[in-house]
Amino acid sequence: MHFAPDTDEALAFAVALANTVAGASRSGVDELPDPASLTALLDAYSYTGRFDRDEQELAAVRDTRDLLRSIFSMDRDSAVAAVNGMLQDAKALPQLVRHGAYDWHLHATEPQAPLDERVRAEIGLALVDVLRSDEQGRMRLCAAPDCDGVFVDLSRNGSKRFCSVRCGNRMNMVAFRSRGGGDGAGAGGVGAGRAGGDGAGAGGVGVDGAGAGGVGVDGVGAGRASGDGAGADGAGAGRAGVDRKSVAHAQTPGRQ
Ligand SMILES: [Zn+2]
Ligand SMILES: [Zn+2]
């Protein structure tokens, strides 16, 4: 599912910002330690307008990050109140603008407004789309117990459970090991059925196309390790079957 292009982009930025905290980042440390790191993040999302690039601006954006993260755990009405507050505080006035390579899209603040205010207004507008479409259920916390990541699931079937392929692979491996290295008999009908359905699992073209295929975390079972897999949702036994079949098909010579 998709919202307007600028909403999708704002949501992607919101998630990237929220996941810079130590508990969610790839590096395992806070990835917004200084103004330069903030600049890098903003550049990656083609942010325009005023940048002070100082500690005060950084602190304000970090506060915005906390606010944003909290919205992912709110019920719908509380999220609405938070978003209305963000828009009100920023005195948001939605206007269509066109600049650079960007076709008409929404801005809600002046380009010279403080960065944190612009971030809240832009993300606030995107969340307006999510909330009034009653799609808040797609704003989720990563299901990996050791991860503070958040994500917005825009996949068609809305079944993503992890913030990243990294978490999906890790949790898949944990589930795999807890099943005794995939020696899970009892896979039975479910396993076989899904193996077929998932197209022989050749390296995790799976659920959300992450395709990373678990790249040999340690070989086995990695096949279906992509984004949103296995295990923890009770389909465990069945998926053990899938994994084994996948491996059988996906195996490269000399591996095993
Ligand atoms: Zn713009
Ligand atoms: Zn995660």
Q: Rounded to whole angstroms, what are the CA distances from 164 to 151, 153, 244?
A: 8, 11, 23
User: What pLDDT is recorded for position 219?
Assistant: 29
At residue 194, φ and ψ (nearest 5 deg) are -70, -30
Q: If you measure from the C-alpha of residue 164 to the centroid of ligand 2, how many angstroms do you get, rounded to a whole number?
A: 6
Q: What is the DSSP letter of 99?
A: E
Q: What is the pLDDT of residues 72-121, one digit of tens each?
A: 999 999 999 999 999 999 999 999 999 988 899 999 999 999 999 999 99
User: What pLDDT is recorded for position 9?
Assistant: 95
Beta bridge partners of 36: none
Q: If you measure from the C-alpha of residue 125 to the centroid of ligand 2, how many angstroms do you get, rounded to a whole number?
A: 25
| Nearest of 147, 191, 173, 156 to residue 19 by alpha carbon | 147
At residue 150, φ and ψ (nearest 5 deg) are -125, 160
Beta bridge partners of 150: 141
Pairwise CA distance, residues 158 & 90, whole Å: 31
CB 71 within 8 A of CB 82: yes
Q: If you measure from the C-alpha of residue 91 to the centroid of ligand 2, how many angstroms do you get, rounded to a whole number?
A: 34
Pairwise CA distance, residues 245 & 125, whole Å: 45
Q: What is the DSSP letter of 103?
A: E
**Long-range Cβ pairs for the range 70-73 (8 Å, 24+):** 71/127, 71/139, 72/18, 72/139, 72/140, 72/141, 72/150, 73/141
Q: Rounded to whole angstroms, what are the CA distances from 18 to 22, 39, 69, 187?
A: 10, 15, 6, 38
Q: If you measure from the C-alpha of residue 58 to the centroid of ligand 1, how many angstroms do you get, rounded to a whole number?
A: 21
Q: Which numbered ligand comes closest to the C-alpha of 140?
A: 2
Residues of the chain with pLDDT under 70: 181-256
Q: If you measure from the C-alpha of residue 106 to the centroid of ligand 1, how many angstroms do you get, rounded to a whole number?
A: 7
Q: If you measure from the C-alpha of residue 182 to the centroid of ligand 2, how many angstroms do you get, rounded to a whole number?
A: 23
Helix count (H) and strand count (E) of the chain?
Answer: 8, 4
Q: Which numbered ligand comes closest to the C-alpha of 10?
A: 1
Report the interhelical angle of 35-44 vs 55-71 (nearest 10°).
60
CB 205 within 8 A of CB 211: yes
